[in-house]
Structure 1
């Protein structure tokens, strides 16, 4: 609760929590033995409910039960003091689940460091051939990469396939490792305010023709001029892309978002912003080295 961004919510939760405990305490005290009405002869009165010959008596709560209830309230108040539980109050111990998680990860990494270090001495091509290293790399991949790239590394719309030799930022071991460490931020600019809809339609036809897809010959010819004036800065004069900026090769029939005329038109109109998250704060250098070898090996 300590990460609530609005202080009003913190006060609201604190008031509800404290009021709940006060109500429980009042309810407990109201049911003490001397608060329960007895009959003139000293017997316990009933509540007026009877079913099948059974009367519901208004007995006072047992002392042991009341003490247990009271101790649970005291425990709850003590928990509030030590741990976060009342709105944004962080607790006197400074505990957070994130801190506990980070400490457990640090401990595990420290204990496993000697095991992983033996793989750091191997370069990526040789590491990719090691059966045990490959198994470890596969597990790392399934934990950290499969959510986007698929368990078979086949990718999906907006997520590149890792099992072919088409790489946005380069497929050499150093390129892959840099991608894992620092992440990537793709940026295909939107042209809807720069080019007319007619020009965009012409470019879409020309782009399709670069990879041998059917296109209108007249539109293709006109689109080539527009492409050379607006697109070669990233994709190159021949449309083969540029790994320095992550511009894809447009001539190999491999499409990140799809190669239909409608999809290419959508890309030109609105642009694309694909992001590969950085893993340097998530994985140790040893794990990144193993994961690099596994990913590199997928395309070899």
Structure 2
């Protein structure tokens, strides 16, 4: 299995919240997609730090347009960093996006999401006229190239918090994992659930192979949850 993007939370990962203010014209259909990520863990990066440098102006497409040969980093800087911070570490306006699960993250971009987790914040749907499928893959590649967290807290925030909340008591998906042991978690983490419908946040969870989250990293993650 190739290493993907939201980790558990998506997360991610994904874990994609938008900016407050006027919504950009997405050039796409419905922007009322279901809320795909987790509780009030805004602004927390994969190492447990907080970045509050998000741009509150609201429209990530209002600035200079990245050229046709723009790199994933440049595309991310234009379209995502105003809310999600440098390198996808997250801000008070949007979740950490490092190591996103691509199928789910793409679904969020194309369908939008409400801003329940972030006050006065929502994300519109972005059509291919704003960001193409190819450009999205370049953004995901850039975010996936960020360093793997080395602590249980960092791993949890990267892979789990966007859906289950920073305290692991349920988040927006309502699935409390605060009392789960390694044995309880291993099968679900490796096999996932509801894989055919990334929009069904109450039932969907991506599978994470050992090349994404090793058994040792999963144990660190579980040990961290036990301290919450």
TM-score w.r.t. the length of structure 2 is: 0.30
For the pair shown, the structure with the greater C-alpha radius of gyration is 1
- The answer to which structure, 1 or 2, has the higher relative contact order (CA under 8 A, 6+ apart) is 2
Structure with the higher fraction of residues in strand conformation: 1
TM-score w.r.t. the length of structure 1 is: 0.23
